[in-house]
Structure 1
Amino acid sequence: MKIGILGSGSVGQTLGRALVEKGHSVRIGTRDPLKLESWRAEVGAAASVGSPAECVQWAELIVLAVHGTAVEAVLESAGVPHFSGKIVVDVSDPLDFSGGRPGLFVGTTDSLGERVQRWLPDAKVVKALNTVLAAVMVNPGLTGGDPDMFIAGNDADAKLVVGGLLESFGWPVIDMGDIESARWLEALSLLWVVHSHRTGKIHHAFKLVGK
């Protein structure tokens, strides 16, 4: 597929590299293309860089990998009509550290994932990969067993496509239902952050077990 990534930080670069290795073409949308010169040279000809609008217009599937507070502005800069009919993988989280302790700026009765779906009414939003650090997003084998990746979204076919990408990264996928369940995936991300702050550890993830 042609996969666009909005976000040029560690998440965007990590996922972009992994997607090219899996045979996809990747374009990162950014306002600072010079920042990605070394990344593009390293990843090769299947990787490119453009503006957010160019990225979304070109792509068949878009990964949203920016800070939660920047999501709405980034979507507007990319042009909301350009997302029409496309799958959007929402990796963002509504994390809020303004009070001095980890928190969420939206939760329980709404979520950032739901807001993204409202801002992009003609797109197919799938919440995924928001509960782990970039370094664990690809080939996530950890001490204690393989973790699970939880996803949520309204479109069943879109979730199958995203699930296939995640499985190619080494993730067992658990579908948590429609986009409303993004509330609980974003809360799970906060739990990840709290554990990290308490222990200093960053390479951890979650697994659903039972019998």
Structure 2
Amino acid sequence: MAEISIIGSGHMARGLARAFLRAGRAVQILGRDGRRTRDLVESLGPGATGGITGAPLEGGLVFLAIPYAEVHNAVLELGDGLEGRVVVDVTNTVDVATFDGLLTPLGLSAAEQLAEMLRGRAEVVKAFNTVLAATLETGSVAGEHLDVFIAGDSEDAKEKVSALAAHAGMRPIDTGPLRRARELEAIMLTVYGLQVNPEHENFAWDTALRILP
């Protein structure tokens, strides 16, 4: 039985799965594209299982590694299966058509919208949205560990996510209540802008945000 369920089968799902497998945790991958999900699971090897979104969830921690625009439908598909679990929102809301704005309403984060959708049926934690997929695969940048910024209203839920990040070799940093997700999402507008700016040749989606020391 997997301890962690990851919704999605793209680059972020792969990165998260590899990080958690390194920590010795079993992962369940659920995606809409059966073939893509199967290929991902097979590439991950022992400890990974898969299925179609809507299948019974195994993990007490559920990671939404899908685009922001797909979250609402995913929550509907997962339905009562989310009851009593910790749902980790890793989405970013940068408008990738322009890299010049966020898709969320002013003064509201995707994580807060998710919490409103769930209406107390599950605890919502914002985490891992500031960690890029490529860096999760390698586990570090330039030999340095990754920082994972975490926000949520449940201390118990944040502790579970923090412990997982620490076991995967990363440093969890508690940034406060769920409303701090607004800043965690907004900062990625700058990060994404640097990644796609041709004047910054050293940024190639394998950089990281860190607090020193």
TM-score of the two chains, using structure 2 as the length reference = 0.88
* Aligned CA distance change for structure 1 residues 145 and 51 (closer, same or farther; 3 Å): closer
Q: Distance in 2 between matches of 1:85 and 1:62?
A: 11
Using the alignment, how far apart are the partners of 1:21 and 1:141 within structure 2?
A: 13
CA RMSD of superposed structures (Å) = 2.1
Cross-structure match for 2:208: 205
1:61 aligns with 2:61: yes
SS in 2 for 1:97: coil
Displacement of 1:94 after TM fit?
A: 1.3
In structure 2, the gaps of 5 or more residues are none
**Contact 1:96–1:104 (8 Å) recurs in 2:** yes
Larger mean CA deviation between 86-95 and 20-29 belongs to: 20-29
Q: Which residue of 2 aligns with 1:31?
A: 32
- Are the aligned partners of 1:138 and 1:170 in contact in 2 as well (CA < 8 Å)? no
Q: Distance in 2 between matches of 1:46 and 1:3?
A: 11
Give the match for residue 99 of structure 2: 101
Counterpart of 1:136 in structure 2 is 135
Deviation at 1:18, TM superposition (A): 2.9
Percent of residue pairs bearing the same amino acid type: 31
CA distances 1:7-31 after superposition (whole Å, capped 9, x unpaired):
1101112222332332222111112
Listed as ranges, the matches of 1:54-133 within 5 Å are 54-56=55-57, 58-79=58-79, 81-98=80-97, 100-106=98-104, 108-121=106-119, 122-133=121-132
The answer as to whether partners of 2:5 and 2:27 remain within 8 angstroms in 1 is yes
Gaps in structure 1 of 5+ consecutive residues: none
1:166 aligns with 2:173: no
Q: Cα offset for 1:208?
A: 2.5
Distance 1:110 1:32, change over 3 A: same
Question: How many residue pairs are counted as aligned between the two chains?
Answer: 207
Counterparts in 2 of 1:19 and 1:101: CA distance versus 1, 3 Å: closer
CA gap 1:138/1:167 in 2 versus in 1, 3 angstroms: farther
CA distances 1:89-126 after superposition (whole Å, capped 9, x unpaired): 1111112134x333211155110010111111221111
Asked whether the 8 Å contact 2:100–2:189 carries over to 1, the reply is yes
Amino acid at match of 1:111: S
Contact 1:139/1:169 (8 A) holds in 2: no
CA–CA separation in structure 2 for the residues paired with 1:169 and 1:21? 6
Secondary structure (helix, strand or coil) at the match of 1:95 reads: coil
> 1:40, 1:49 within 8 Å by CA — same for their partners in 2?
yes
**Secondary structure in 1 matching 2:112:** helix
- The answer to whether the 8 Å contact 2:30/2:37 transfers is no
Q: CA deviation at 1:38?
A: 3.0
Contact residue 102 and residue 193 of structure 1 kept, 8 A: no
Deviation at 1:67, TM superposition (A): 0.5
